[in-house]
Structure 1
Amino acid sequence: MVMATTASTAAVTFLASVTLEVADLEAARRFYRAFGVDAHLRLRASAAPSTGFRGFTLGLTVSGPATVDGFFGAAVDAGATVLKPAAKSLWGYGGVVQAPDGTIWKIATSAKKDTGPDTREVDELVLLLGVEAVKATKEFYIGRGLTVAKSFGGKYVEFAPGQAGPVKMALYKRRALAKDLGVPVDGAGSHRVVLGGTADAFTDPDGFVWEGAESPAPTSS
């Protein structure tokens, strides 16, 4: 991905929105409506070149395995590709799919057994950025005003949800994220995702673009 830096030092108050850039806007609208997550993100038409791994994933944290299966099945029925079938793991239960527009989604719960039916409710939307240098990028975002909630050396950083707004944001080593998702690490071109902040526009060290509060609202799903 293209590396970039910001010339501004104004702080980001929180991550307010996530916009996916898609080649076919109407098809993406249909998919995300059927998937059941259209209320949690924005969509924008884009022809920006992008190949391979885009360096991020969106995650749905839900209440139990039945809800994982509900979202997983809805995504596959709507045209998603299965990257990792839903299954039990050391951390709970979950699986990974790739939307027709190329965005990778991880659907998971910390519960290994069902205690209730499929609620089709999202407990948390997580934006996980795959970065080359976790520690350096952590310091970059601290400088923009975000507060660290969890940090595991140079492997993983999670920002405080109170300042990350409606979407939880975390950093993970790019190579480790690709391995976790079951995809090759190589990728080039646009990330095809734009982050909406509450301050000024900037681009982070790994090329992830933020739009400021005064930026025009993107076409919604």
Structure 2
Amino acid sequence: MATTASTAAHTSLTSVTLEVADLEAARRFYCAFGVDTYVRLRASDERTTGFRGFTLALTVSGPATVDSFVGAAAGAGATVLKPAAKSLWGYGAVVQAPDGTIWKIATSAKKDTGPATREIDEVVLLIGVENVKATKEFYVGRGLSAGKSFGGKYAEFIAGHSSPIKLALYKRRALAKDLGVAVDGAGSHGIVLGGTAGAFTDLDGFAWESADSLAAHTS
């Protein structure tokens, strides 16, 4: 038991790998979009249909920067699922990359205080789960450190020093609604999480691999 606790205490998300059908096309897109340093890519012919159950969310400084990222994504071939618009919480948009990955770009600012930049303040991998509390407990049991949470609706984990991306949980149905897509989906999630706790699969089928193993098979 002591060995398990010691191992779990050092668990963290170290990378996010997107599985794509066309590796070169995906590389070109993510370079043009401006997020290529945040994700790894791996060729895969796994079938997937509908909602994959996750989104990658970018937090930026202001509306002009949101527009800049949306424009870059659309110009590189992304589909705009939700055009940039103001809301109660700020300003944001949702786009879907040619490989099927959904990205949300948002800011809490409703007015620009400066010109658009290409800077990203935070990247969050938000996975849609059936039971937020149960999945949170599962990950805490694996050694991830819990951050803020809101009942059974949302939970996040403290990012490790080596990870550029924070992991968070949201109800699957609520996440699909927020992104403007149907909740149904089947097949592969099209994403693999890299971590320091070895290989495992969570309660909703999201696969983790050891950081060393992923590094040897991704670009």
TM-score, normalized by length of structure 2? 0.93
Distance 1:216 1:168, change over 3 A: closer
Q: Distance in 2 between matches of 1:154 and 1:70?
A: 34
Q: Distance in 2 between matches of 1:204 and 1:163?
A: 23
Pair 1:20-2:15 in alignment: no
Distance 1:164 1:157, change over 3 A: farther
Deviation at 1:164, TM superposition (A): 8.3
- Could you say what secondary structure the match of 2:143 adopts? coil
Q: Distance in 2 between matches of 1:119 and 1:192?
A: 30
Letter in 1 for 2:194: G
Pair 1:37-2:42 in alignment: no
**1:181 equivalent among 171, 179, 182:** 179
Q: Distance in 1 between matches of 2:214 and 2:205?
A: 20
- Could you say what secondary structure the match of 1:205 adopts? coil
Letter in 2 for 1:219: T
Q: Distance in 1 between matches of 2:214 and 2:116?
A: 37
Alignment of structure 1 residues 1-221 onto 2, 5 Å: 11=8, 13-162=11-160, 165-217=163-215, 218-220=217-219
- Please list every run of 5 or more consecutive structure 2 residues that lacks an aligned counterpart in the other structure: none
- Deviation digits for residues 118-150 of structure 1 (CA, Å, limit 9, x no counterpart): 110111111000001101000001101112211
Query: Does the CA contact (< 8 Å) of 2:194 and 2:214 recur in 1?
Result: no
- Could you say what secondary structure the match of 1:59 adopts? strand
- Please list every run of 5 or more consecutive structure 1 residues that lacks an aligned counterpart in the other structure: 1-7
Deviation at 1:159, TM superposition (A): 1.0
Query: Does the CA contact (< 8 Å) of 1:75 and 1:99 recur in 2?
Result: yes
Query: Does the CA contact (< 8 Å) of 1:88 and 1:94 recur in 2?
Result: yes
Letter in 2 for 1:152: F
Q: Distance in 1 between matches of 2:214 and 2:180?
A: 35
Q: Identity, % of aligned pairs?
A: 78
Q: How many residues align?
A: 213
Distance 1:134 1:92, change over 3 A: same
Deviation at 1:163, TM superposition (A): 6.7
Query: Does the CA contact (< 8 Å) of 1:159 and 1:169 recur in 2?
Result: yes
Query: Does the CA contact (< 8 Å) of 1:15 and 1:163 recur in 2?
Result: no
Q: CA RMSD for the aligned pairs?
A: 1.5
Letter in 2 for 1:141: Y
Q: Distance in 2 between matches of 1:21 and 1:190?
A: 9
- Could you say what secondary structure the match of 1:40 adopts? coil
Higher relative contact order (CA 8 A, sep 6+): 1
TM-score, normalized by length of structure 1? 0.93
Q: Distance in 1 between matches of 2:54 and 2:162?
A: 16
Other-structure match for 1:5: none
Other-structure match for 1:4: none
